[in-house]
């Protein structure tokens, strides 16, 4: 296990973002903590923005996050330190954008994303192993988000086929 980073890192705005505004400092399951923080922040980011602007914001968060995560990884001495959770946050916001807007479906989306982010099915695992920089940190979670969206689309379709639903 990576040593826990100092909370003093949060004084630097780049590290503050990379560490998910402190959620990545959770001593237990920091990736899950970052994902849950993203879920809580999603309504604040999403509500005031048109779809195109929100997707452009996510693209900016991905590119900027690649740079920020790379810098924080260097500061921590581990390219993909467990406390770096900005990748989970951006990927989760993308997933939530395409998730039906109910608490139940969002909870399913969060659970599916955590599953795919932890299990890392191909090519997620290969991307995680190949790219050891800020882009790699962000990219493998983007791939996990794609798996999540595919599984979610199948589930939504199956539920709609059920009688009385």
**pLDDT score at 130:** 83
pLDDT beyond 70 at 2? no
Kindly report the number of other CB atoms within 10 A of residue 22's CB atom: 16
Distance, in Å, from the CA atom of 146 to the CA atom of 152, rounded to the nearest integer, reads: 10
- 130: DSSP letter: H
- Dihedral of CA 61/34/52/159: which sign? positive
For the chain, the domains span 7-161
pLDDT digits (tens, 9 = 90+) for 104-162: 999 999 999 999 999 999 988 888 788 889 999 999 999 999 999 999 999 999 999 98
Judging by beta carbons within 10 Å of its beta carbon (0-12, 13-18, 19+), is residue 105 exposed, middle or buried?
A: middle
**pLDDT score at 75:** 94
pLDDT digits (tens, 9 = 90+) for 58-104: 999 999 999 999 999 999 999 999 999 999 999 999 999 999 999 99
pLDDT beyond 90 at 4? no
Distance, in Å, from the CA atom of 88 to the CA atom of 65, rounded to the nearest integer, reads: 11
Kindly report the number of other CB atoms within 10 A of residue 41's CB atom: 17
Task: Read off the pLDDT of each residue in 34-38 and give the average, rounded to a whole number.
Answer: 98
Contact 90, 61 (CB under 8 A): yes
Number of continuous H segments (helices) and E segments (strands) in the chain: 7, 0
Rg value, the chain, Cα: 16
Tell the residue number behind the tokens 């979670």, with chain if given: 141
- 78: DSSP letter: -
Tally the residues of the chain.
165
**pLDDT score at 1:** 52
Kindly report the number of other CB atoms within 10 A of residue 139's CB atom: 20
Indicate the SS3 state at residue 102: coil
Tell me the pTM.
Answer: 0.94
């Amino acid at each position: 296990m990576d040593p826990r980073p100092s909370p003093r890192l949060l004084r630097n705005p780049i590290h503050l973002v990379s560490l998910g505004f402190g959620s990545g400092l959770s001593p237990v399951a920091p990736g899950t903590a970052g994902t849950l923080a993203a879920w809580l922040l999603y309504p604040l980011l999403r509500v005031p923005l048109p779809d195109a602007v929100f997707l452009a914001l996510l693209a900016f968060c991905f590119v900027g996050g690649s740079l920020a995560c790379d810098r924080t990884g260097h500061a921590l001495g581990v390219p993909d330190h467990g406390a770096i959770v900005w990748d989970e946050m951006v990927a989760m916001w993308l997933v939530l954008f395409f998730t039906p807007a109910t608490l139940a479906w969002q909870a399913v989306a969060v659970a599916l994303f955590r599953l795919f982010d932890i299990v890392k099915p191909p090519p997620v695992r290969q991307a995680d192993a190949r790219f050891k920089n800020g882009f790699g940190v962000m990219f493998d979670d983007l791939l996990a988000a794609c798996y999540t969206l595919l599984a979610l689309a199948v589930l939504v379709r199956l539920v709609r086929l059920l009688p009385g639903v």
